[in-house]
Structure 1
């Protein structure tokens, strides 16, 4: 029986697939479609999406639910928008994040989306000792990012909060199998920009051709020594 691979493409650049980041993601998606006939892609443009509020009524509802309180009809209707956003995320088993570096970190639209979906009881939970445990398992993620400068080496490495944050926050909810393609530098000279783009295109095509998504996803337990209990889940 054919099992459909469901990929959610989170587009976190205001220029969409016409951006430097988006063009590399388009090459990656084309290669994935060529390799996997069963791939279904749902794109979510975070700069144009009508995302639910993470303040006001929904903040009150979040803490009410955490303490076991019932929601009234108005609060339940508003919170349902949060749940629908979470359901769309959980319906996928593969993720592509397209995100440029903004001021060393993630674009605000992506941060807003993350704040909307990562809710206790939905993407993570607390055990009897009060330790958080991720609830999102058997998933894979690939992140295509672009940076104006080169943050891959030297003193600039310390300012790369984009990759470290995405690994931490999605690892926290249980996604351990995360691959990054960081296109850099893109704002220096046209020659360096073209070279970085060519290298990224070569790398993503090679990665897909090698069957990176052919087997089972890497699990958190595969990343930790046998005697370590995976509580806060970070690769």
Structure 2
């Protein structure tokens, strides 16, 4: 049985971006380690994502309260369901995402708002406490940042990693690894050095068996 990887590209520059270069190296290394790997790429800046408004918002709350949908509403909501099904079809995730204004690009937020739906990616117990429904999956986030946010004082402005860990952890994906290309907007020398380091790090991480390991692997 094949291993299905969903590569979510959340940058308008695609695979030509800093994150794209590192993600490509990561996936190439994964192919070397796993002959059965099947990769699907979802480019969020070119994808026709369903609207999280209008009819679909009405349908969401109708479903939450047990109300039936009419034919038009059902047809529209099925676009949301197909987007969710595409996400849930994967065993593994690679997310290529640049930092925009200390957080994530709008296209990724739009996608997250489309797929994170009650009854699909999370549910509620009898006490109204939410729990994730997406279990047994892993995610690698490859990010790029204009500055270096690895320590004080700039780490206080990093609202990207915390949000991604929170939202995907909320739906059950708690095994999330980050590789950050930083700084990218200082000098060409620093930018190129950061990209080379990130590429070397992802290759070493996969080669060390970290992707398949149940416990975190720390590279020396």
Paired position in structure 1 for 2:208? 210
- Structure 1 gap segments, 5+ residues each: 219-235
The secondary structure found in structure 1 opposite 2:108 is helix
The secondary structure found in structure 1 opposite 2:31 is helix
Q: 1:59-109 CA deviation, whole Å, 9 max, x = no partner?
A: 000000000000000000000000000000000010000000000000100
In the alignment of these two chains, the number of paired residues is 216
Going from structure 1 to structure 2, the CA distance change for 1:217 and 1:62 (only over 3 Å counts) comes to farther
Distance in 1 of aligned mates of 2:90 and 2:3: 8
The secondary structure found in structure 1 opposite 2:110 is helix
The secondary structure found in structure 2 opposite 1:154 is coil
Paired position in structure 1 for 2:169? 171
RMSD (CA atoms):
1.0
Single out whichever of 193-202 and 64-73 deviates more from structure 2: 193-202
Matches within 5 A, 1:79-228: 79-216=77-214
Distance in 2 of aligned mates of 1:28 and 1:59: 37
The TM-score normalised by the length of structure 1 is 0.90
The secondary structure found in structure 2 opposite 1:157 is helix
Distance in 2 of aligned mates of 1:34 and 1:65: 44
Distance in 2 of aligned mates of 1:152 and 1:59: 38
Q: CA deviation at 1:215?
A: 3.9
Q: 1:157-193 CA deviation, whole Å, 9 max, x = no partner?
A: 0110111110000000000111000110000011111
Distance in 1 of aligned mates of 2:208 and 2:52: 40
The answer to whether residue 43 in structure 2 is matched with residue 62 in structure 1 is no
The TM-score normalised by the length of structure 2 is 0.96
Distance in 1 of aligned mates of 2:29 and 2:126: 44
Q: CA deviation at 1:217?
A: 8.0
- Structure 2 gap segments, 5+ residues each: none
The secondary structure found in structure 2 opposite 1:180 is strand
The secondary structure found in structure 1 opposite 2:52 is coil
